[in-house]
């Protein structure tokens, strides 16, 4: 159903990398979405401005694309709302507990060759692959 798109994938990935590199070079921060959002949700965080600005940038990207005719992202999600809510809870709780997600551990951590991040990325990829295998080929199949 979905085609293999290595060129747009690599180009989009390079833009993600450019953003992570610029955030470090300009503000000295790691572009980890979990850390940025999670810090905002803690009462004792002093540096809120840059966090809100980064999140606003993420949400503004598709809105600006829409001005040029792109459709707003309304992704196809087949799971029931209950499963989606459980997934959201697990993603939120797990990324905070493990101190990072695909951006902080996966992109920035790998770029720093951080042992912690490489281990975390290997574990969450494995858990996600196992979950999809069970959902699609054991239960769904």
Partner 1 sequence: MPVLASFICGLIFGAGLLISGMTDPQKVLGFLDLFGAWDATLAFVMAGAVAVTASGFAIARRRAAPTFSARFLWPDRNDIDAPLVGGAILFGIGWGLAGICPGPALVNLAGLSLPIVVFVVAMLAGMIGQNLLGKNLWRPRTMAPRAAETASLPSRADG
Interaction residues for partner 1, span 47-86 (CB under 8 A): 47, 49-51, 53-66, 70, 72-77, 79, 81, 83-86
Tell me whether residue 69 or residue 114 sits nearer to partner 1 (CB atom). Answer: 114
Tell me whether residue 35 or residue 69 sits nearer to partner 1 (CB atom). Answer: 35
The three state secondary structure string of 38-96 is: HHHCCCCCCCCHHHHHHHHHHHHHHHHHHHCCCCCCCCCCCCCHHHHHHHHHHHHHHHH
**Site for partner 1, residues 9 to 48, rule: CB under 8 A:** 9-35, 37-39, 41-42, 47
**With contacts defined by CB under 8 A, how many residues of the chain interact with partner 1?**
117
Total residue count of the chain as it appears in this document = 141
Longest alpha-carbon distance in the chain: 49
Please pick, from the candidates 2, 67, 69, 139, the single residue that binds partner 1 as defined by CB under 8 A. 2
């Amino acid at each position: 159903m979905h085609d293999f798109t290595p060129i747009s994938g690599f180009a989009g990935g390079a833009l993600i990398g450019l953003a992570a590199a610029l955030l470090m070079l300009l503000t000295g921060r790691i572009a980890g979405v979990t850390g940025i959002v999670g810090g905002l949700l803690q009462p004792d965080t002093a540096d809120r401005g840059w966090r809100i600005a980064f999140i606003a940038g993420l949400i503004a990207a598709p809105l600006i694309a829409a001005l040029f005719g792109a459709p707003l992202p309304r992704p196809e999600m087949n799971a029931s709302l209950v499963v989606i809510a459980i997934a959201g809870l697990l993603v939120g709780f797990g990324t905070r507990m493990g101190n990072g997600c695909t951006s902080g551990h996966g992109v920035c951590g790998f770029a720093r060759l951080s042992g912690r991040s490489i281990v975390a990325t290997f574990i969450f990829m494995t858990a996600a692959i196992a979950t999809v295998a069970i959902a699609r080929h054991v239960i769904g199949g």
